[in-house]
Chains A and B, each alone.
Chain A
Amino acid sequence: MDFDALISGLDRHTLDGITRGSIYALVALGYTMVYGVMKLINFAHSEVFMVGTWTVLGVYTVLGATSGMGVGAVIGATVLALLAAMLASAGTALAVERIAYRPLRKKGAPPLIFLITGIGCSLVLVETFGQVLKAFFGPPFGRVTVNVPSVIETKVVFTIPGLDLPVTNTRLLIIIGAIVMMVALDTFVNKSRLGRGVRAVAQDPDTASLMGVNQERVIMLVFVLGGAMAGVAALLFTVQYDITKFDIGFIIGIKAFTAAVLGGIGNLRGALVGGLLLGVVEVYASQIWDSSWTDVTAFIVLVLVLMFRPTGLLGESLGKARA
């Protein structure tokens, strides 16, 4: 146990944790929104994120983007990658909804069937990138870790005075990007007409449809929004870690799901709180012991929180979110 390492670099580790947590939080939104409306854990959501990271790689490859380009080219490539990742992830999420969940819903399948179907979709997507695409196109697809070009060169933008803590442009991008997306989503759900429909369905689906709310459309919207958020998370992830892999969604997905439960599943702000807390706890744990303890600690924290607050830290549901 090395508390000295943690204490001496507390500011740096906290920043590290917040960066990591921002990505968890963005992915967690997808779990939490779908749960809020359908009371369903969409286990295919981790792969929605994975598809996003591959899309970023694809866009960079097509554009021939590498490190060391001019500022304009970097911004252009990043924005393009972001939009493509959001589109691809949202599309994947929507496809899972339409192809896998919708037919089940029409037949009135019990909740357990949805869970298994979600896991099935997840495996199909993983193996698509691990095996199927490899068979057709060869590398980079396959069961190995692939490097994503670090288009944005990591530079220190400013140093927080007093703490002597250098803040890099990539971290800044991740934290600000995540916060902007979350605020935008929160405003959308609380203030807009479509958001009102989402909340109405979350609170009472039957009454909502009798009042003219198209439930199917709300469900599609929720999947698309959650997918788009996962796409943003995918871009930010590649900016920070420069890699992708066919099963990269698995661990991130588990962590994001944990974050959603930690904050109170179904609650948008809970996803943010849970994500950041989880990120920080993990980084702290890796400093106190070593990195093999991060997962253990993360789940111990989850168990402890759920023992005292079984509905998570913020504990409300999407339906209860209001302006």
Chain B
Amino acid sequence: MPEHKIEGAEVLKDTSDHDAIAHEASGAMGDVLLEVDHVTLRFGGVVALNDVNFEIRRGEILGLIGPNGAGKTTCFNAMTGVYTPTDGTIRFKGKEIAGTKPHRINHLGIARTFQNIRLFPEMSALENVMVGCDARHKTSVLGVLFRAYRVRPSEEELPANGIRRSFAKVFGISRHTLEERAGRRRSMELLRFVGIADRAHEVARNLPYGYQRRLEIARALATEPELICLDEPAAGFNPAEKEDLMGLIRRIRDLGHTVLVIEHDMKLVLGVTDRIVVLEFGQKIAEGTPEEVARNPKVIAAYLGEPDDAA
């Protein structure tokens, strides 16, 4: 696999205007944002999650780790509405979300990426991100068709051309048009933020692997989530790329998002997270700061046979 340096950090300093993508958190730091309350999930006789119980606090980076098949992704799926828990509930900002439709959960403020990349393969990178932005637009179907909702444009939003300019002054510009423009700008900004803006107009399926992974993150960020869940974002990355990714995860948190990371790679998880929850065979076996977890004998046992820094 070719190596892809993440230029995001440098690009960000020069060109990115942070305001365009900064996220305003609606509550105080340290509040409980998401509670997984004694969740059990059974598929027939298989118990995928057994009485799992933890919480995510606003503004933190929480790691969810465990050996293969421990139930990390299942836990994710329950949180994002793909599965409904058999028992127990999941509360987001105090509101129960178990069993809510996925797109509703997204609107509430949870977004995710996928372990196996799931982009819209035939759309350009920019369009992929715009789909995420679209989720936040307010104009209804009828409003779009008839351009019914109009707003008074500010000076810099007016078209340059004379007749269109006068028209816009008299009748205003449809909110849809402004939202489209803002969405486009924001999407571009996000691509720059994750460092793949140079290939914004390429079809997603043709992008290199590292770009696709970061495009997924940009698309999830576009839905303005309070909580962004990254499912093995470093899968298939080399050490240099992992290093860059850690920087990106921290910058995402600095934008005002809360981050949940599922990872295999102990080094990455220990390096970037504030707290870690460890699952094994569908059960939580440990929780705490990276140092505590790394010392926990149960965790070490769970990973026995694998050195700590192995992927």
Contacts and interface: CB of A to CB of B under 8 A. Distances in A.
Contacts of A212: 103, 106-107, 111, 132, 134-136, 223
B122 A199 contact: yes
B59 to A, nearest CB: 22
A215 B103 contact: yes
Contacts of B137: 193
Given A200-B123, A221-B141, A322-B123, A214 B130 contact: no
Contacts of B71: none
Contact of A322 (B107, B112, B124, B179): B124
A192 B81 CA distance: 28
Interface string A189-219: 0001110110110011011111111110100
A322 B203 contact: yes
A2 B111 CA distance: 66
A272 B203 CA distance: 25
A207 B114 contact: yes
Interface string B135-159: 1110001001000000000000000
Contact of A211 (B81, B122, B132, B144): B132
Interface in B227-262: none
Nearest to B110: A210
Nearest to B129: A211
Contacts of A193: 130, 134, 137, 144, 176, 179-180, 183
B127 A214 contact: no
Given A197-B131, A211-B135, A192 B103 contact: no
Nearest to A210: B102
B80 A210 contact: yes
A320 interface: yes
B120 interface: yes
B214 interface: no
Interface of B: 80-82, 101-103, 106-107, 111-112, 114, 118-124, 127, 130-132, 134-137, 141, 144, 176, 179-180, 183, 203, 219-220, 222-223
Q: Which of B82, B121, B123 has the most C-beta atoms of chain A within 10 angstroms of its own C-beta?
A: B123
Nearest to A319: B122
Interface string A280-323: 00000000000000000000000000000000000000011111
B57 to A, nearest CB: 23
Contact of B122 (A194, A213, A217, A322): A322
A206 B179 CA distance: 25
A102 B103 CA distance: 17
A214 B137 CA distance: 12
Contact of B131 (A200, A215, A320, A322): A200
Q: Nearest 5 pairs between A and B by C-beta? A: A212-B135, A212-B106, A209-B102, A320-B122, A209-B103
Interface string A232-259: 0000000000000000000000000000
B54 to A, nearest CB: 22
Given A196-B130, A211-B106, 4 more contacts: A209-B103, A210-B80, A211-B131, A320-B122
Contacts of B114: 207
A199 B120 CA distance: 8
A14 to B, nearest CB: 34
Interface residues of A, number: 26
Contacts of B219: 211
Consensus secondary structure, chain A interface: helix
A207 B223 CA distance: 13
A211 B224 CA distance: 10
A206 B118 CA distance: 10
Contacts of A214: 103
A279 B119 CA distance: 38
27 contacts: A193-B137, A193-B144, A196-B123, A197-B131, A199-B123, A200-B120, A203-B122, A204-B118, A206-B102, A207-B119, A208-B120, A209-B103, A210-B112, A211-B111, A211-B135, A211-B223, A212-B106, A212-B111, A212-B132, A212-B135, A212-B136, A212-B223, A213-B131, A214-B103, A319-B122, A320-B122, A322-B124
Contact of B141 (A194, A203, A210): A194
Contacts of A323: 127
Contacts of B127: 196, 322-323
Interface string A166-209: 00000000000000000000000000111011011001101111
Given A193-B176, A211-B219, A206 B82 contact: yes
A71 B144 CA distance: 33
A213 B103 contact: yes
Contacts of A200: 120, 123, 131
Contacts of A217: 141
Contacts of B136: 212
A209 B80 CA distance: 10
Contacts of B102: 206, 209-210
